[in-house]
Structures are given as structure tokens and as C-alpha cells.
Amino acid sequence: MLLRPSSLSPSFGGLRERECPRCHREVDLPLGELCAACRGEIDGRAARVARWVSLGTTLLFGLYVMTALPIDRTARMVGAAATVIWFLIVRRVVQRVAREWFLTR
């Protein structure tokens, strides 16, 4: 029995870039990749944005938690844990979104 031809698109793994598409430095990269310097700059900018956004929203969230919760040790501990988790999740999400945003610009 004859094999059916594959409908998959051809692999572009062998194609190479001769310069970075963003900064136009001479490098040898896989197709569509950025050089290490551009990637580091984008990651640094994304980290700065994520740091400030997460700090600002965490302060607001912490103030809300402190005013909304009753004065009870257990409630305060849960509120503090929720505030730390808020910071971590917001920072992670904002960093990924900012990285994608800066990659497309």
C-alpha cells in the first residue's frame, strides 16, 4: 500500500538568520530568533515593568486586605499570605505580557 503524502508544512529548522531582526547585528541565529543582547534588553525592560506594577497593585491590595479583614490573628495571617501570593502571581503575569509586548514592537 502506498503511503499518503504528508500534509505538514516543511521544517524551517535549517534556515538561519545572518543578522538580528531587531538590532541588525551580524549573528548566526535560527530563523525568527533574536540575539542574546536584544533578548536580555527585552527581559530587563519586562522585569522593570513587572516589578513596578506588582508593587503598586500589591500595596493597594494589602491596604484593602488590612481594612476589610477583622482584627483577628488568623484572618491577618491569611491576608498576609494572600498579599504575598498576589505579588508573585501579578509579577509573573505582567512580566510575561510585557515580554510579549516588547517582542512585537
Using one digit for the tens of pLDDT, what is the confidence trace for 92-102?
999 999 999 99
* Residue 10 CB-density burial (10 A; 0-12 exposed, 13-18 middle, 19+ buried): exposed
The verdict on residue 51 lying in a domain is: yes
The pTM score is 0.76
> Positive or negative CA dihedral for 18, 24, 29, 30?
negative
Phi-psi region of 32 (alpha: psi -120 to 50; beta: other; left: phi over 0): left
DSSP state of 2: P
CB atoms within 10 A of CB 41: 15
Mean per-residue pLDDT, 54-77 = 95
Residue 93's domain comprises 42-104
**Count: domains in the chain:** 1
